[in-house]
Amino acid sequence: MSAPWVVLVADQIAPEGLAPLASDSRFTLVKKPVISGDELAQAIATADAVLVRSATKITRASLAHADRLRCIGRAGVGVDTIDVEAASERGIAVLTAPAGNTVSAAELTMALLLSLARKIPAADRSMRAGEWERKAFMGFELHGKTLGLVGAGRIGGQVAKRARAFGMHVIVYDPWLTAARAQELDVSLATLDEVLTTSHVISVHVPLTSATAGLIGAEQLARTRPGTVLLNVARGGVVNEAALLEALQNGHLGGAALDVYEKEPHPADSPFRTLPNVVLTPHLGASTAEAQLNVSVEIAEAVRNFLTSGDLSNAVNKDRVRTPA
């Protein structure tokens, strides 16, 4: 079709992040942040592209009248809020911004690990209560410990580099990681069973797919060494929460740190909230000013490049996409 292309901005995205589109006369931006239901479906019906973050959900109903729509841009990496199958059936590209939040997510992982290792949240609460309980907060050093990574893509690879700086030995289960890349990261390739049975710390860094759903369940947790701590800054559902809860409550695991959950927002009555050896954060992996700007610019560029030249580099459904007319 002829320009200008109409891009619906259906979520809160900073103007600076939209610059690749706003500065190009071939695009018209329609800003309707955080809309849903019929209003979202009607707005999508007149758009060539729609941009969202995590608040706005693109469902099958949202796409009911999307005859004009060519792409959905997710300012981030997770697509669990987008019905990719429904989009693919219509030939609509689903684009993501996988690189923009890499450093922020890796740094959060290390922050959570240090919080667990040195019991910082509990010590902080104790100090605020007027106490001075040094003996209650005996922790452990990262130096000399083995970190087992389940997944070593962009974020996992950055976690590996930071863990090595702390003097940790890093082993990785990732069927896609080449020997050359492992050598570059200074990590050892391992099977999932080796990661489970030999690691002091296990950190998950894989997307939620049909292959990874429940990847770490009761059977896997039972194979971990007593006192192991587990971190999930990837996606809820990769770790079975019921199995994790049991392993924490029976004392087999030494602790856990979670930034993502099977259900978000995480239920107020969740038993994880009552456990002293658990650190919880509300999906903060990309919650830095730098990451939000980076993913916004990245997805704006991806949408621009797809509409103007058919570039599918950022598409998660490349094989089912209509090229822009």
Catalytic residues: 235, 264, 283
Phi, psi of 229 (to 5 degrees): -110, 145
**Residue matched to tokens 């909230």:** 273
Q: In what order do the strands lie in the sheet with 255-258?
A: 188-189, 169-173, 146-150, 201-204, 229-232, 255-258, 278-280
- Sequence length of the chain is 325
**Residue matched to tokens 């689903």:** 94
Backbone Cα Rg of the chain: 22
170: Cβ contacts below 8 Å, ≥ 6 apart: 146, 147, 148, 149, 160, 163, 164, 185, 186, 187, 188
Q: What's the Cα-to-Cα distance from 78 to each of 18, 257, 290, 292, 316, rounded to whole Å?
A: 19, 20, 18, 14, 10
* Number of alpha carbons in the 13 Å side-chain half-sphere of residue 71: 34
Cα 157 → chain centroid: 14
- List, in sequence order, the alpha helices (H) in the chain: 19-22, 37-44, 84-89, 102-118, 120-128, 154-165, 179-185, 192-198, 218-222, 241-249, 289-309
**Contact 217/191 with Cβ under 8 angstroms?**
no
Q: How far apart are CA 233 and CA 7, in angstroms?
A: 31
| Percent helix, strand and coil across the chain, each to the nearest 5 | 40, 15, 45
Q: How far apart are CA 124 and CA 214, in angstroms?
A: 33
